[in-house]
């Protein structure tokens, strides 16, 4: 088969077309440009989309994973050549959303004639010669899916190659069918044989238990008669206890009635005493005691008001003391301010020192004039000198007089005000004015608090007199409030005692009436006194309950035994069922042995088939692996489940694939895949090999070896190698037999 062209509306592909040639096609594109999508599209065109597949954890089903991104419907076209001269065009479209690409059409290219016998279900198998699973496990190599796994379809293909050529037989399917038959006969608790054995065991158990049940029933009937006799005896004991308790209740009733009479007599005596002592009612007592409480509260308020007055009086006295200590004491505020403006208006300067100084100056002037005249005999000069000295001394005397006056004023101010600075004296006057205001406010406050205290004390006296007047009507000895309160307390206690006595009498009478209603009248009031029973009611009741419980359990056991005997049915019928079940088990056991023999024979035959096919597959895989690894490995071994081991060259010891590197493992799996293609795929169909980044983990040297092998293999069949690397295209850049295409991304990729 040769694919010429593919046109896809599939996943991210929107009516994209991919042109292909015969031989090896290198399709290079970076990641997310649709390489894997093209591979999935090819498989869908050949085999359809599996609509039964469901999403798994982390993996979407193809019908969801490749749904067109634009919300449209899946569709595609595939132009190919099948055989030597048959050119075909395949169409797949979607009519129903639940069946993507479910509509199939196959036409001869250019003629538009339908291809007879080619349907959507058999298209891939007719064109490639193998089913979907065989093709997917051989020539269709996805990225990360190089490993080979077992499959019934692949088994049938292998069996056809090594036997008669028929592909309708699979060892796995046949073994599974035989296992199902074995499981139907014997599989834990669900097989037919275990079910019949359990049924037989149950039937035999029923037969065996019938005799035991009959024996148990006889024993239980005998025990039941004993318990019934004991129950009758205990019931008679309870009747005796009832008679004794009735006798005791009548005695208790008499005591209760006596107590009620005593309580009523006590209440009547208290009532008479209160009437004689003219004890007031509770409402009067409560009112007067409330008035006393209010009186005490008023007294406390009066005492508090008195304390406030005393405090205000102390503040007033303190203010008076501050005013008396002021230099402006006795003045008004305005007078103090005027005094501060002229603090010493009538201060007299000292005259004696002034006169003495003036006389000394006069004598000094005359003496100086006489001296000038005595020495110089110049009268004018002497007079001028005396006049000058006289003027000088007069000026000096005046200055000294003024200084003495200033010093005297300062001393007087300091003595009276403590300062000679006018501003400070004015400030003292303002302070005095403030003290006057404080004194006046304190005087008003003291006056108001005094009036309040007097009013409260007057109210206390009036209320106390009113209370005492009322209390003395029934307690003449109450001479003050405490004695009145004591009298009220005594009255309240007497009223309370009367109330309690009346309540006790009422309750005692109610108890007597209730007890009388609950105590039956004896049938024979004149019967002699009874003796107390030897056993108490609790013991007799416990014994009776135990006996009744045993009887109930025994009767329940008898009912169950009767039911089981009835349910077990006729012993003869049970015996017939047991024989029938034994016969069926014997037949199934013989069938089970025959199926086991068939499975053993089939397994032996499959081992022979694997022995004939596996060596040939291993030899071919070893040849390819040797070419891919440059002779690093000399052999390949496959077991019956297609698990692979490789034998390093020169060692002779096989190594499981799990011990190889990731690249070497992929190379080994690729060799096995290519060997399966050679041995399993029909050569006349020449199914194309598809590789999706299958060489990604190969190093450059082994990648070149793999490319050379694929180049040679492409002479027999078409090969599509999708890759995200450029080394494949570079390897074949000068080879005209290799087609190299660079794909572009429409809008993103898978």
Asked if residue 646 lies in contact with residue 654, where contact means CB atoms within 8 angstroms, the answer is yes
Share of the chain above pLDDT 70, in %: 81
- pLDDT for residue 103: 93
723-743 tens-digit pLDDT: 999 999 999 998 999 999 998
Hey, what long-range contacts does 270-276 have (CB within 8 A, 24 or more apart)? 270/494, 270/497, 270/498, 270/501, 271/498, 273/494, 274/494, 274/495, 274/498
SS3 track for 621-635: HHHHHHHHHCCCEEE
Mean residue pLDDT across the chain: 79
650 vs 639: CA distance, rounded Å = 22
| Mean pLDDT, residues 390-396 | 74
Location of structure tokens 């399993």: 680
For the chain, the C-alpha Rg in angstroms (whole number) is 68
Q: What band does 524 get if pLDDT is binned at 50, 70 and 90?
A: low
328-372 tens-digit pLDDT: 777 887 877 887 777 765 444 555 565 666 677 667 777 777 776
Least confident of 195-199, 228-232, 526-530, 666-670: 526-530
Q: What band does 161 get if pLDDT is binned at 50, 70 and 90?
A: very low
- pLDDT for residue 691: 92
- pLDDT for residue 614: 59
564 vs 212: CA distance, rounded Å = 11
- pLDDT for residue 167: 39
461-500 tens-digit pLDDT: 888 888 877 787 777 777 788 888 887 788 888 888 888 8
Instruction: Give Cα separations from 316 to 124, 334, 437, 439, 444 (angstroms).
Output: 125, 21, 11, 6, 9
Tokens encoding 370: 């006489």
Least confident of 500-504, 637-641, 716-720: 637-641
Tokens encoding 731: 């390897």
150 vs 137: CA distance, rounded Å = 8
Q: What band does 156 get if pLDDT is binned at 50, 70 and 90?
A: very low
| Mean pLDDT, residues 184-206 | 70
Least confident of 162-176, 276-290, 582-596, 636-650: 162-176
- pLDDT for residue 79: 95
Query: Which of 199-203, 378-382, 609-613, 712-716 holds the top average pLDDT?
Result: 712-716
413-472 tens-digit pLDDT: 666 777 767 787 778 778 888 888 888 888 888 888 888 888 888 888 888 888 877 787
Least confident of 61-65, 222-226, 299-303, 378-382: 378-382
Tokens encoding 724: 């995200």
- pLDDT for residue 14: 92
Least confident of 36-45, 408-417, 487-496: 408-417
> Which class for 279: exposed (0-12), middle (13-18), buried (19 or more C-beta within 10 A)?
buried
| Mean pLDDT, residues 696-710 | 91
- pLDDT for residue 555: 85
Least confident of 84-98, 164-178, 477-491: 164-178
Q: What band does 92 get if pLDDT is binned at 50, 70 and 90?
A: very high
Q: SS3 of 670, please? A: helix
Q: What band does 650 get if pLDDT is binned at 50, 70 and 90?
A: confident
């Amino acid at each position: 088969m040769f694919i010429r062209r593919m046109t896809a509306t599939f996943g991210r592909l929107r009516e994209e077309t991919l042109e292909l040639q015969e031989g090896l096609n290198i399709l290079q594109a970076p990641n997310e440009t649709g390489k894997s999508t093209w591979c999935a599209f090819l498989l869908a065109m050949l085999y359809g989309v599996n609509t039964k597949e469901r999403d798994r954890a982390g993996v979407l089903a193809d019908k969801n994973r490749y749904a067109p991104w634009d919300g449209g419907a899946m569709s595609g076209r595939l132009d190919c050549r099948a055989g030597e001269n048959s050119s075909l065009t395949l169409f797949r479209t979607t009519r129903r959303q639940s069946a993507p690409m479910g509509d199939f059409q196959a036409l001869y290219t250019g003629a538009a004639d339908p291809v007879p016998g080619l349907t959507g279900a058999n298209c891939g198998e007719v064109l490639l010669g193998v089913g979907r699973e065989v093709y997917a496990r051989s020539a269709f190599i996805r990225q990360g899916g190089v490993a080979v796994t077992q499959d019934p379809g692949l088994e049938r293909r292998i069996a056809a190659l090594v036997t008669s050529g028929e592909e309708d037989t699979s060892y796995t399917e046949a073994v599974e069918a035989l296992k199902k038959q074995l499981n139907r006969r014997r599989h834990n608790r669900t097989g037919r044989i275990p079910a019949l054995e359990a049924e037989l065991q149950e039937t035999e158990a029923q037969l065996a238990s019938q005799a035991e049940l009959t024996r148990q029933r006889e024993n239980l009937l005998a025990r039941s008669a004993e318990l019934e006799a004991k129950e009758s005896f205990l019931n008679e004991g309870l009747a005796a206890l009832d008679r004794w308790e009735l006798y005791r209740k009548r005695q208790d009733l008499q005591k209760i009635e006596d107590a009620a009479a005593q309580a009523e007599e006590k209440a009547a005596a208290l009532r008479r005493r209160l009437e004689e002592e003219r004890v007031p009612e509770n409402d009067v007592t409560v009112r007067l005691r409330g008035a006393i409480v209010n009186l005490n509260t008023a007294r406390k308020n009066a005492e508090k008001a008195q304390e406030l007055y005393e405090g205000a009086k102390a503040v007033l006295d303190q203010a008076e003391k501050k005013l008396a200590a002021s230099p402006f004491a006795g003045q008004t505020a305005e007078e103090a301010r005027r005094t501060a403006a002229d603090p010493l208006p009538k201060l007299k300067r000292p005259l004696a020192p002034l006169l003495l100084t003036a006389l000394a100056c006069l004598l000094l002037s005359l003496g100086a004039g006489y001296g000038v005249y005595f020495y110089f005999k110049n009268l004018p000069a002497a007079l001028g000198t005396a006049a000058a000295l006289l003027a000088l001394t007069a000026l000096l005397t005046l200055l000294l007089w003024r200084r003495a006056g200033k010093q005297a004023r300062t001393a007087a101010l300091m003595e009276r005000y403590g300062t000679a600075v006018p501003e400070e004296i004015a400030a003292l006057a303002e302070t005095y004015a403030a003290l006057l205001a404080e004194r006046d406010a304190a005087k008003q406050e003291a006056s108001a608090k005094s009036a309040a205290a007097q009013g409260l004390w007057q109210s206390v006296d009036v209320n106390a007199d009113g209370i005492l007047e009322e209390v003395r009507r029934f307690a003449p000895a109450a001479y003050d409030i405490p004695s009145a309160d004591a009298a009220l307390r005594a009255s309240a206690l007497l009223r309370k005692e009367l109330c309690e006595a009346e309540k006790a009498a009422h309750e005692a009478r109610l108890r007597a009436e209730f007890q009388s209603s609950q105590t039956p009248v004896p049938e024979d009031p004149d019967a002699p006194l009874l003796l107390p029973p030897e056993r108490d009611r609790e013991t007799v009741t416990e014994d009776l309950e135990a006996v009744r419980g045993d009887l109930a359990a025994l009767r329940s056991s008898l009912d169950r035994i009767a039911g089981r005997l009835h349910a077990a049915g006729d012993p003869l019928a049970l015996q017939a069922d047991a024989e029938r079940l034994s016969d069926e088990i014997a037949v199934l056991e013989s069938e089970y042995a025959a199926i086991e023999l068939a499975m053993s024979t089939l397994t032996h035959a499959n081992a022979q088939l694997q022995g004939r096919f596996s060596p040939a597959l291993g030899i071919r895989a070893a040849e390819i692996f040797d070419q891919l690894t440059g002779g690093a490995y000399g052999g390949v071994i496959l077991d019956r489940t297609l698990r692979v081991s490789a034998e390093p060259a020169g060692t002779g010891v096989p190594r499981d694939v799990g011990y190889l590197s990731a690249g070497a493992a992929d190379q080994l799996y690729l060799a096995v895949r290519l060997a399966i293609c050679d041995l399993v795929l029909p050569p006349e169909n020449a199914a194309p090999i598809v590789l999706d980044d299958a060489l990604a983990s190969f190093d450059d040297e082994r990648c070149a070896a793999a490319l050379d092998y694929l180049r040679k293999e492409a002479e027999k069949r078409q090969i599509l190698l999708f890759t995200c690397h450029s080394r494949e295209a570079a390897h074949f850049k000068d080879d005209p037999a290799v087609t190299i295409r660079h794909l572009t991304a429409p809008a993103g990729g898978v």
